[in-house]
Structure 1
Amino acid sequence: MLYISRMKSVISPPFTTLTSHLSKTRHFPLYFQASKSILCDFPALQIPNFINLKPRTYSLKSSISSTSIQNRSSRAEASESLSGEIHVIVGPMFAGKTTTLLRRIQAESSNGRNVAIIKSNKDTRYGLDSIVTHDGVKLPCWALADLSSFRQNFGPDAYEKLDVIGIDEAQFFEDLYDFCRNAADNDGKTVIVSGLDGDYLRRSFGSVLDIIPLADSITKLSARCELCGKPALFTLRKTEETQTELIAGADVYMPVCRRHYISGQVVIEAARTVLETRKVQSGSYT
């Protein structure tokens, strides 16, 4: 029993011993009191006067509105001054396309505008330095292989002063689309184009039809059928040549209506077949 009591005293010391130990420990406060040197008196906060800071929005809106209107007006005037036009005249041969072109050019010149006419140098029927209608009307022109060289040949300064550009036999210019678009959209020129819309097989000829989406106006002319006198919209080739570009006049081409174009093509094809057969036969005999 004595052994057990000693063990209890070791495991659980007497209450008096524990209390005497706790009485010797030092107690610390759970918070610190700030010293007076840290504390200071802040002035009372003042609410800012936002009324004085409020912008005068009515004058700002008025200024913005006036400025934007002026900018839009100046842009519109600049766009209008550079706005060009493209007018296309098409039809078969002997329909008066060149005559219509020259009349428009003369009208523009009479209104005080600076004009110039371009034609393909492939057409040498009436000389290179002039454009001539089938009726004999004649005006000076620039004969060029391509339209892109016109500005350089005409002169950059003279080109800037130019108002109207006429293009005859437009089907012979491969760069027709790019030239017309740039001249009208970027340079503010009025471009009047005259040319065949179809070849002797009634297929698209050159780039004339490509500029239709760019055009301000399109004039489709008709001739008179040489076989019946009705309106003629097609060109019939009377010879056996088959190349697309064959520059000639009434000795090779004639305007016809739809009925005589179809019948004429049948006759021509039959004649070509006979001629080809004769050539083969004559070749076999030699």
Structure 2
Amino acid sequence: MHRTWTTVVVSLGLLTAMTGTARAEGLGHIPYGDNCWGSGTDADRDGLNDQCEYQVAYGFMPLFWFDSGESGFARRPYYAVKSTSFATRTLQIFYLDTFFDDTGVTTGHDGDPEFQILEVHYSGGRWYLDWAYLSAHRKSSCDSSAWYAYNQLEYDTAIDSRNAYRGWPTLYVAEDKHATYNNLSTCDQGCFLQDYCSRHTSQYLDTADRLVSRNVGSTAVQLINSVILNGKTERLLDDAAFKGWDDQWYRPNSEGYRRHLDDFGF
């Protein structure tokens, strides 16, 4: 699947639960279904086919809308996938955004470990989004993170006709601080009214590498942990600070992803 980013000044075809017209649901182009379980290579020993994990993670990779004032686009995303129920063919995908920094005027810091968890299931030849957990300053004093049901999310079908209601979601990224929200109004209420979003520049989570070779496995069976970039090392799965492959003396680092991965059983 080829995806590109685009900047627009007009609204796109966003499907929400309020749309009254008939619509297709779910994604039908992911080349795995029941055979996601118990077949093929399984490097992280979680009972899931590694290629299925990639196809599902890439297939549901969210579309981000950034504000016109965003100054911290840089990121190197990773993902993890786990099965929550074979009976209902349900998976959860944990997307590690790994923004290099938070460029907020008063809150700036190296490394910005925001993330999303999408819960999806397979049925009748299609994959469906059920729930999304969107981190928004999680475990901070203005934590605005929340679970959203599929009918509280938006879906853009104008950029790629393969998307549909309950396919990959459209999310809104708080200017410079990278908290994610299900719509503009929720964003503007976030972090005690300090967050702000707009629909200015759209980018998929991974604009360059399409999540290829970015499966971290799990904290128990680590496929990727130590990552070197520009001569700096991050340990994504360890209980260690996340510095965004940077370490400026004049601003603090972030706490890493391990505490979030542990909390959600990854």
Q: Which TM class, normalised by the smaller chain length? A: under 0.3
Relative to the length of structure 1, the TM-score reads 0.20
More helix by share: 1
More strand by share: 2
